[in-house]
Amino acid sequence: MRFLNPKALQYTALLLLYLVFHPLAANAAKQAQNNVGQSYQSIEWTDLMPEDDLQALLDPPAYLDEIEDGSPEDQLRSQLLPPESVEPELGASSVSKDQLPLAAEIAKASADAKDIRYQQALVSKRVRPEFDGAKIKLPGYIVPLSFDNNMVITEFFLVPFFGACIHVPPPPPNQMIYISYKKGLKLESLYDPFWVEGTLVIKEHSNEEMGTASYSLLIDSIYPYTD
């Protein structure tokens, strides 16, 4: 099983191609159909994201298509503006408003608004309150946060694609789940995906190096992912 590389993620708003088209997401949807009536609700990562955030990420600004390979703008992190830098200032431009025809001004304001909304979605902490307290089952990858003396992982982020937080910038906080697992887990490889089951809670957790998760999971079980 291979993953989308950072280049693909850049042009499609981080994780959205993965979430929509990757077999891991597709199999989660299949599990959701198969597990109707069972104690855990199988969900997809996009279920944890407000619909308008999802739509913003699925419709990125046109200028992303014009970024040349190897250019400074080709770095994924250049897209990730801090939330305070993306406050709406529709139509802001170095060109005077009275120098623009009305139609062009409207078009620019619309493009600016789309870009702002896209940037906001990339760092969104907005959650789906209906999942607070839900018993869920979800596949994902492990980003280790804490180890014991035997290098057993006791805290980690669950993320939707390999390399998140480690090789590429983190997904939006509403696409990360913090898990404390006192029983501990040893990884053979960071490439290995897992199923997790437990109770999802809306509780933010931040790690200085790895980012912020909008959700936490009171874990009941974790086991290797299989198709």
pLDDT by residue for the chain (227 residues), tens only, comes to 333 334 434 434 445 545 454 555 555 555 545 555 569 999 999 999 999 999 998 888 776 666 565 555 555 445 444 444 444 444 444 555 565 575 565 556 556 667 888 889 999 999 999 999 999 999 999 999 998 888 899 999 999 988 777 777 789 999 999 999 999 999 988 889 999 999 999 999 999 999 999 999 999 999 999 87
State how far the alpha carbon of 157 is from the alpha carbons of 48, 87, 90, 96, 105, in Å. Answer: 15, 28, 35, 46, 43
**75 assigned to some structural domain:** no
**93 assigned to some structural domain:** no
Residues 6+ apart with CB under 8 A from 101: none
**37 assigned to some structural domain:** yes
**13 assigned to some structural domain:** no
Residues 6+ apart with CB under 8 A from 94: none
DSSP string, 132-172: TT-EEEEEEEEEEEEE-TT--EEEEEEESSTTBTTTB----
What separation, in Å, do the N-terminal and C-terminal C-alpha atoms of the chain show? Answer: 10
Q: How far apart are CA 128 and CA 144, in angstroms?
A: 25
What CATH number corresponds to the domain at position 44? Answer: 2.40.50.870
Record the pTM.
0.70
Res 223: pLDDT? 97
Res 51: pLDDT? 96
**188 assigned to some structural domain:** yes
**What is the sign, positive or negative, of the torsion defined by CA atoms of 73, 140, 215, 60?**
positive
**147 assigned to some structural domain:** yes
- Structural domain for 166, as ranges: 23-49+127-224
**202 assigned to some structural domain:** yes
Is 13:58 a contact under the CB 8 Å cutoff? yes
**Domains of the chain: total:** 1
Res 22: pLDDT? 55
